[in-house]
A and B are shown apart, each in its own frame.
Chain A
Amino acid sequence: SAVISQKPSRDICQRGTSLTIQCQVDSQVTMMFWYRQQPGQSLTLIATANQGSEATYESGFVIDKFPISRPNLTFSTLTVSNMSPEDSSIYLCSVLEVTGTQETQYFGPGTRLLVL
């Protein structure tokens, strides 16, 4: 299975600032995703990071707030812009691995963000 790392693992930020989270995969993958998990909640898909083109955002998420880069098939970044305390969450990077006809999605360890 793909090995996914994220940086930073956690951060405490002041409101109004921005944080960029990095996701690195040990193999080339076509599909990369970014999820948010608010305290005590389940995971919500923010966007699909497309290599070489703009990310595809889910309802309720916009590019100005969560700009995403995907410069190649092993790396992506998510920026949380103009942060407020409501952005305090765990942000998880995920990749889709396809083996034959089976598609399995793996997750990074997450970035725990606290906004004061």
Chain B
Amino acid sequence: SQQGEEDPQALSIQEGENATMNCSYKTSINNLQWYRQNSGRGLVHLILIRSNEREKHSGRLRVTLDTSKKSSSLLITASRAADTASYFCATQGAQKLVFGQGTRLTINP
């Protein structure tokens, strides 16, 4: 299975701090995507990084991908209370998207 595994499972930080979440996977991929989910609602697509890319930025988000280690990280800088959510990595190969177990992020005011 190429299912991603994320760590930590839960992360609680103070507002303004940076949050880092990691994702590991098992097989080769076409791309890796990060999603956010607020309180059991639909998923919001955050960022996509292709297998030939190493780093990508979008606003306060920074994603890295290390295909040799089959791992990715999502960094949220200057966190805000509104960033409180579950974050999922998902790997794409052969048009199928396979999700990791997610990281529950809590931003404390």
CA distance A17 to B32 in the complex (A): 38
Binary contact track B38-51/A, C-beta < 8 Å → 1, others 0: 00111111001010
Task: Kindly list chain A residues whose C-beta atoms are within 8 Å of the C-beta of B98.
Answer: 45
Interface of chain A: mostly helix, strand, loop or mixed = strand
The contact size tier of chain A is 20 to 34
B95 near A: Cβ within 8 Å?
A: yes
Total contacting residues, chain B, CB less than 8 A = 23
Task: Kindly list chain A residues whose C-beta atoms are within 8 Å of the C-beta of B40.
Answer: 37, 90, 110, 112
Q: Which residue of A43, A48, A104 is within 8 Å of B88 (Cβ)?
A: A43
Given known pairs A102-B48, A105-B45, the reply for A42 and B95 (CB within 8 Å) is: no
A107 touches B43 (CB 8 A): yes
Given known pairs A31-B95, A42-B88, A110-B41, the reply for A105 and B101 (CB within 8 Å) is: no
Measured CB to CB, the nearest residue on chain B to A6 is: B42
- B interface list, Cβ under 8 A from A: 30-31, 33, 35, 40-45, 48, 50, 88, 90, 92, 95-102
Which 8 A-B pairs have CB atoms at the shortest separation, nearest pair first? A109-B42, A107-B43, A43-B99, A42-B99, A42-B101, A110-B42, A105-B97, A107-B42
